[in-house]
Structure 1
Amino acid sequence: MGVLERSHLTIIQEVAREGSLTAAGMRLNLTQPALSHSIRKIEQQLGVKIWRREGRSLVLTQAGEWLLALANRLLPQFELAESRLEQFANGGRGTLRIGMECHPCYQWLLKVVSPYLERWPKVDVDVRQKFQFGGIGALFSNEIDILVTPDPLYKPGLKFTPVFDYELVLAVGPEHPLRNAKFVLPEQLVDETLITYPVPSERLDIYTQFLQPAGIAPRQQKQIETTDIMLVMVAHGRGVAALPRWLVKEYSARFKLHPIKLGKKGIAKQIFLGHRETDEDIHYLRDFIEFAASPR
């Protein structure tokens, strides 16, 4: 049996990701015949069948599936190692990869990223949305360096820093009967259409901290990915939404929105930045967290 090489894992991952030799070849800067030759050579070197043909498609064998899982674990770590070595060589140069689990946090993040980039002219920032990575798992697998989340999951090897306090409120439109209410109770949302981000209800505070403890469910739930579209829907009376008070205030003039306290006591929340403890010595990462947590 031959030696398993990094290039083997890269080819296996790209063929599985793209679903065709033509598309994978383009990603790998190889022609289709050259990629086909590489695939045969890999199987000969390793002494095991990695793919089987089903019509025009290549399907991974059991050995291929295992190698794909290995590639998905190891390749991001190779990329991270190379990036870190480049940073050491260039003195503070690199890319800070941020994963966002907090949909309405983009406006807040913009206010942090802009001055941060001025502070670190050799550092780039890459922001990934939730569907592009696996949250906590992405931190462990080195796909991202910082996780922005309102719901930290404390695990050994990870550290979460609270950087921003906010209140979750109910946003309603200018014609909504609750628009002048001081607060809203769960039972008042029984006949409402609740507009949310595409997040499971068990991870939405409006459900876990407000509706479910009272045994209440809204008449309907609509999921919308984009904050602006969500607020337009609310402003035109198509539903209500639970959002940070600062975000509702920021958009209130543009969309004629009204923020209402959820319950008599309200719902207090925090935004956390999670990172790997092993990255504590990366100056520009530590500075981003400290800068994000500092009052402005």
Structure 2
Amino acid sequence: MSILERSHLTIIREVTREGSLTAAGMRLNLTQPALSHSIRKIEQQLGVKIWRREGRSLVLTQAGEWLLSLANRLLPQFELAENRLEQFANGERGTLRIGMECHPCYQWLLKVVSPYLDRWPKVDVDVRQKFQFGGIGALFSNEVDILVTPDPLYKPGLTFTPVFDYELVLAVGPEHPLREEKFVLPEQLADETLITYPVPSERLDIYMQFLQPAGIGPRQQKQIETTDIMLVMVTHGRGVAALPRWLVEEYASRFELYPVKLGKKGIAKQIFLGRRETDEEIQYLRDFIEFAASPHSDH
């Protein structure tokens, strides 16, 4: 009978991640011959080929691909469990891992994290922006403990708490012809360069709630990862950007920016903090959400 062990999954993940036996061996503290022997032993134990050779490369078979997806789901949970147990053993509280699906929210998060760390001296905070299976997947697979998102996906096992409301506006520079408008209509953006964060269009409200319902797209879209660079570009007339009003107003002293309402009614949004229902009893996690939702952390 084949018995799948955690060490098998670890080897499959590291060999795939590193791309070579030498590099994977260094990560696993094994020599290359020892790792090659382990690989042969795994395939014998499981009774299935996991890799095939293509030139000098090892490529996963169909069974190997399936085991890799299993490793990516299960290993983070093992690592979290061991981390938590070690923290309990050392009398520590733990690390709060926050996933960000809201690029402009870093400014807000700083205002929450700083006093929170004062309140919880034994808790560390780690912020992550890249997820293996998307933000919701990161919650399910224990990659993060809290997800900051403007677009909650209500699924069994997850809870979302709204922490603040904001208005999405169009940020334009001082020379832009739309600067004096009370509001803009979708067709007024047809000849514009729209500057966005590197997020798929279906995750951007400017597309889903404003442009696409009107059957309109911008002349060009530019993706920029950094808020400061994005705002410099907008100030210098290189394009327009859809951003929270609070962010545009906060940066107005550093960049000459002007917020314009999107549509007659504007676009109202909320930021949510998502967590796993099973983490309800973790006091430091619950306290972060309550603290973030309290009025003094609002914009």
The bucket for the TM-score relative to the shorter chain is over 0.9
Distance between the aligned counterparts of 1:33 and 1:50, measured in 2?
A: 18
Pick which of 54-63 and 235-244 moved more.
54-63
Deviation at 1:4, TM superposition (A): 2.0
Aligned length: 296
Q: Does the CA contact (< 8 Å) of 2:183 and 2:260 recur in 1?
A: yes
SS in 2 for 1:179: helix
Pick which of 72-81 and 85-94 moved more.
85-94
Deviation at 1:51, TM superposition (A): 1.4
Q: Does the CA contact (< 8 Å) of 2:132 and 2:138 recur in 1?
A: no
Shift in alpha-carbon separation, 1:8–1:208, aligned structure 2, 3 A: same
SS in 1 for 2:194: strand
Q: Does the CA contact (< 8 Å) of 1:163 and 1:272 recur in 2?
A: yes
Aligned to 2:208: 208
Distance between the aligned counterparts of 1:49 and 1:216, measured in 2?
A: 51
Deviation at 1:47, TM superposition (A): 3.0
Aligned to 1:184: 184
SS in 1 for 2:153: coil
1:117-147 Cα shifts (integer Å, max 9, x gaps): 1111111111111455521111111111111
Aligned to 1:120: 120
**Superposed CA RMSD:** 1.7
SS in 2 for 1:152: coil
1:62-118 Cα shifts (integer Å, max 9, x gaps): 222222122112111111222332344445521111111111111111111111111
Shift in alpha-carbon separation, 1:91–1:281, aligned structure 2, 3 A: farther
Distance between the aligned counterparts of 1:106 and 1:138, measured in 2?
A: 19
Q: Does the CA contact (< 8 Å) of 1:169 and 1:243 recur in 2?
A: yes
Distance between the aligned counterparts of 1:133 and 1:252, measured in 2?
A: 36
Shift in alpha-carbon separation, 1:249–1:192, aligned structure 2, 3 A: same
Q: Does the CA contact (< 8 Å) of 1:99 and 1:133 recur in 2?
A: no
1:236-278 Cα shifts (integer Å, max 9, x gaps): 1010000001111111121111111112221111100000000
SS in 1 for 2:289: helix
Distance between the aligned counterparts of 2:198 and 2:282, measured in 1?
A: 33
Deviation at 1:26, TM superposition (A): 2.1
Pick which of 265-274 and 41-50 moved more.
41-50
Deviation at 1:231, TM superposition (A): 0.9
Q: Does the CA contact (< 8 Å) of 1:86 and 1:93 recur in 2?
A: no
Deviation at 1:280, TM superposition (A): 0.2
Q: Does the CA contact (< 8 Å) of 1:92 and 1:284 recur in 2?
A: no
Distance between the aligned counterparts of 2:197 and 2:26, measured in 1?
A: 35
Shift in alpha-carbon separation, 1:6–1:14, aligned structure 2, 3 A: same
Q: Does the CA contact (< 8 Å) of 2:87 and 2:94 recur in 1?
A: yes
Deviation at 1:20, TM superposition (A): 1.0
SS in 2 for 1:3: coil
* Structure 2 unaligned residues grouped into runs of 5+: none
Pick which of 229-238 and 59-68 moved more.
59-68
SS in 2 for 1:253: coil
Deviation at 1:39, TM superposition (A): 1.4
Shift in alpha-carbon separation, 1:215–1:66, aligned structure 2, 3 A: closer
Shift in alpha-carbon separation, 1:195–1:30, aligned structure 2, 3 A: same
Q: Does the CA contact (< 8 Å) of 1:150 and 1:271 recur in 2?
A: yes
* Structure 1 unaligned residues grouped into runs of 5+: none
Identity rate, percent: 91
Distance between the aligned counterparts of 1:19 and 1:294, measured in 2?
A: 47
Distance between the aligned counterparts of 2:132 and 2:233, measured in 1?
A: 26
Deviation at 1:2, TM superposition (A): 4.9
Shift in alpha-carbon separation, 1:246–1:202, aligned structure 2, 3 A: same
Q: Does the CA contact (< 8 Å) of 1:161 and 1:274 recur in 2?
A: yes
Distance between the aligned counterparts of 1:137 and 1:237, measured in 2?
A: 38
Aligned to 1:135: 135
1:200-224 Cα shifts (integer Å, max 9, x gaps): 2222111122122222222111111
SS in 1 for 2:147: strand
Q: Does the CA contact (< 8 Å) of 1:133 and 1:143 recur in 2?
A: no
SS in 2 for 1:4: coil
TM-score, normalised via structure 1 length = 0.94
Pick which of 181-190 and 97-106 moved more.
181-190
